[in-house]
Amino acid sequence: MPVVTTTQPEPELAADGMPRGQAVLDALVELLDLETLETNLFRGVSPPQSPTRVFGGQVAAQALVAAGRTVPDDREVHSLHAYFIRPGDPRIPIVYEAERVRDGRSFTTRRVLAIQRGEAIFSLSASFQLPQEGLEHSTPAPVDVPAPLTLPDLGQRVAEGRGAGWMSQIPRPLDMRFVDDPVWSDQRVSASEEPNRVWMRADGRLPDDRLLHVCLLTYASDLTLLGSVLARHDRPEQPAQMASLDHAMWFHRPFRADEWLLYTTFSPAASGARGLATGRFTTEDGTLIATTVQEGLVRVPR
């Protein structure tokens, strides 16, 4: 019998030569498809091109996948609360241990512990709910925001010499269009009291899997959130040491992560070498679909 071989399509290249597009997005989706080891026990890996420690959005998204695998399909995640305990090593797998805390009539609660070398590196609690009717209201839609396709993507920014921070060195499963210059940009040197805004969407088409879209948004929520702390201050001469300490999200309405979402972030407070950052995800028509809050370590060299 002849051997049939299949080849993965070549990824598109951004203006700066970095991989982007559907093939890169598919690789992220595969990364979130955890291996089942045993009941309530799963294993995930990090991509070959990783920072020196596991990206926080990755471990949060994978932990949420582990939680969702133990929940009936008719219940959707509405909130998560997580702590980053130790830096993760991207060279070795991560084991996710899910605990079935409660299965009620309307709500289901899960806890997940991410483990490497026998030690916890991350913990997550997530709550799932049956769809229900109730009161509805939302904050006003953002105003005077340029449309995403009128703004340069990350590859164009790098090609123009405007920088993309650590994201300039890795494949890009997300299409990100910054409304305001990010904190790592040479164009942004002075403090601002205004929020930071960036359009983002999965750079391709995703399956119709509600949990996957929520996990993709969880991944994306950690990319720029803590930078809003630095944005309140003049740019330091030396890079600041930054690390996520905890992370919380609330999902208000259904959405698709492969459609444009505006991420508006702002830091209301910083003290004790820690900064608090808040974020809101809104659709192109201004509907609020998710809220984020994170506290992070922010040490500025003396």
Q: Which of 222, 228, 258, 267 is catalytic?
A: 222
Phi, psi of 106 (to 5 degrees): -115, -30
Q: Which of 127, 221, 228, 294 is catalytic?
A: 294
- Specify the pTM: 0.93
Q: What contacts 87, CB < 8 A, 6 or more positions away? A: 53, 54, 121, 243
Catalytic-residue membership of 244: yes
Residue 1 has a pLDDT of 42
Q: Please indicate whether residue 187 is annotated as part of the active site.
A: no
Instruction: Output the tens digit of pLDDT for each of the chain's 302 residues.
Output: 444 444 456 778 888 888 899 999 999 999 999 999 999 999 999 998 777 889 999 999 999 999 999 999 999 999 999 999 999 999 999 999 999 999 999 999 999 999 999 999 999 999 999 999 999 999 998 999 999 999 999 888 888 877 666 677 778 999 999 998 888 777 777 888 889 999 999 999 999 999 999 999 999 999 999 999 999 988 777 778 889 999 999 999 999 999 999 999 999 999 999 999 999 999 999 999 999 999 999 998 87
- Write down the pLDDT at residue 238: 75
For this structure, is 8 an active site residue?
no
CATH fold of 12-130+146-299 reads Porin (2.40.160)
Spot the catalytic one: 46, 62, 125, 244.
244
Q: What is the rounded CA–CA span in Å between residue 171 and residue 16? A: 11
Distances (CA, A) of 107 to 40, 132, 251, 265: 19, 11, 14, 29
